[in-house]
Amino acid sequence: MGMPMGFTLPVLRPDLDPLRPDQAPARARHEGRLIDSHGRQIRDVRLSITDRCNFRCVYCMEPEDRFLPKMELLDLDEYLRLVDILVDLGIRTLRLTGGEPTLYPRLDELIEGVGGRDLDDIAMTTNGSLLDRSRLERWLDDGLRRLTFSLDTLREDRMKTITRSRTTVSHVLESIELARSAGFPRPKVNAVIIRGINDDEVGDFAELARIMDLDVRFIEFMPLDSNRAWNRDHVVDADEMIAAIRARFELRDDPNAPAHSTSTNWTFADGAAGRIGMIAPVSRPFCGACNRLRVTAEGRIRPCLFSHEEWDVRSLLRGDEDDRAIGDAIVDMVWTKQAGHGIDQADFTQPERTMSAIGG
């Protein structure tokens, strides 16, 4: 049940040093290049800047779930120092996540700070409930390049049921248009599809992509829910979703996605605006090309979204270690990245943390 009654973090394995795993071999140490033991180069970081969220989505959090004390979370200087260390290790793209990142009180300063770093791309994922034009324009000027919106239904009654919030579908759609008018490129919309909840809306989301010129990405339901109710029967797989879309619109493969893309992508054969993507970690795992690393809001390194081991970098940031020593420790942490998550394997065990606590 996530953290319903207190603020306790998941217990790290007692046989592992929480600050540092076994030392990676010499071949893992390259100037400006971060690799794991399977030869994958890690170039993308998902940095959670808060575990707080103003939604309680049914596939993530329960209403009684509680957040960590603010003193447990990294502060602004620690986030920026960590980003500098990661950039020196070869990280090229950064996504700010949460929780809901717009709840982070120093978000403007953080975006300004990371915008001055040597990164190829800086993006942020948001539920779209707390955006305004002036902040959007400031973020764009300061270096934020892309926004991804989470929206799991186009029906107002379902929005309240799924998110357990007062934010409306109309409000999120208005926020998407506000971002576009502020100068952001074509927004992405992520929709988690769950059987019996919103699986009848797949075609409607595809139509939305055409009407609003959006990059709509459908996400298979993953075992990261707080009440641990996930099972394979709730998953609508990518093939089923694509079939539902093709019943209404002809699609053609989009060959331009990079090898490490989390999604398989299509455009509309009639030349209509918009694009369709499928993120299918259950039916089409993309682990072999994964180039991502996750950092939780309280400063724990998770080499994989479904990792059961986490590594404490906050203590290093708050200790006497210099940047070089912390970078060496992160090299060791990344070396432990597992080959794949194995959701469909009989021995798969769901992580204790929810997506909100991990950071998407």
Which CATH fold topology does 41-358 show?
A: TIM Barrel (3.20.20)
Q: What is the DSSP letter of 299?
A: S
Give the residue from 94, 125, 289, 100 showing the smallest Cα distance to 219.
Answer: 125
Segments of the chain with pLDDT less than 70:
1-19, 223-230, 257-261, 285-286, 340-357, 360
3-state SS assignment for residue 161:
helix
For residue 15, the model assigns a pLDDT of 46
Per-residue model confidence as pLDDT tens digits over 145-198: 999 999 999 999 999 999 999 999 999 999 999 999 999 999 999 999 999 999
pLDDT at 11: 39
pLDDT at site 179: 98
Q: What tokens does 45 get?
A: 């970081």
What is the spatial distance between Cα 41 and Cα 34, in angstroms, rounded to a whole number?
Answer: 6
Q: Coil, strand, or helix at residue 312?
A: strand
pLDDT at 95: 97
Q: Which residues pair with 48 in a beta bridge?
A: 97
B/e letters for 89-112, b = 16+ CB within 10 Å, e = fewer, are bebbbbbbbbbbbbbbeebeebbb
C-alpha to C-alpha distance for 173 and 248, rounded to whole angstroms: 22
Mean pLDDT of the chain: 88
What is the model's pLDDT at position 12? 44
Whole-model pTM?
A: 0.89
Alpha helices, DSSP H, located in 32-130? 76-88, 107-115
Predicted pLDDT at 66? 86
